[in-house]
Amino acid sequence: MKLGEVIGTVVLSRSIDSYKGQILHLVLDLDEDMAYVGNAEVCATWEARQEGEHVVVEVAREAANFSSPAIPVDATIIGKVDSVHIDAASKTD
């Protein structure tokens, strides 16, 4: 699982049948300093999110299992993050 921030919504004009009606968001990963890392990725989800919301993202094969039947996705938003606390003593530099 990864921590990320929703930065946009993806709208498909054409898609395979399993994506019809599917909610897709663009998400950037966050590091322990809550700074963006890496490239944005498209994540499926069952509930629309707002830009700027922090979310938990599941990746790889497990991501496809959020829906029944499973759909072909590499990343899924599995939850909204209400708050983050990182103990300064636990951070490694």
SS3 of residue 5 by DSSP: strand
Domain that holds residue 36: 2-90
Q: DSSP characters for 33-72?
A: TS-EEEEEEEEEESS---TT-EEEEEEGGGGGGGSSS---
Query: Tell me, what CATH number does 36's domain have?
Result: 2.40.50.220
- How many domains would you assign to the chain? 1
Tell me: the pLDDT tens digits for 42-88?
Answer: 999 989 999 999 999 999 888 877 777 778 889 999 999 999 988 87
Characterize 54-73 residue by residue with b for buried, 16 or more Cβ atoms within 10 angstroms of its Cβ, and e for exposed: bbebbeeeebbebeeeebeb
Q: Give the global pTM.
A: 0.84
- How many angstroms separate the CA atoms of 91 and 56, rounded? 20
